[in-house]
Structure 1
């Protein structure tokens, strides 16, 4: 069944994986920036 899907949709699986990877990296970056920013603010303002 998965062979049928890959034939029907072509490169959609590759595009989907690329989009998921991009969203994951953006989320990781945002978490690092927000977490780092809150740490710096808590150190500055105690």
Structure 2
């Protein structure tokens, strides 16, 4: 690792880990919402279709 890369890592600390955790939470929330929304639409279309 070069001195510049090491300096950048020292400056930001664990922000990268926090960012990855936030992205993972948002991704799972989106996936769950899409599954629940799709399932809900299917049930409504079967009931009222």
Taking structure 1 as the reference length, the TM-score comes to 0.88
- Provide the aligned C-alpha RMSD in A: 1.1
Distance in 1 of aligned mates of 2:29 and 2:35:
10
Consecutive aligned runs of 4 or more in structure 1 exceeding 6 Å deviation = none
- Structure with max Cα Rg: 2
Distance in 2 of aligned mates of 1:37 and 1:2:
48
**Structure 1, gaps ≥5 residues long:** none
2:12 alignment counterpart? 9
Taking structure 2 as the reference length, the TM-score comes to 0.83
Task: Using CA pairs under 8 Å that are at least 6 residues apart, name the structure with larger relative contact order, 1 or 2.
Answer: 1
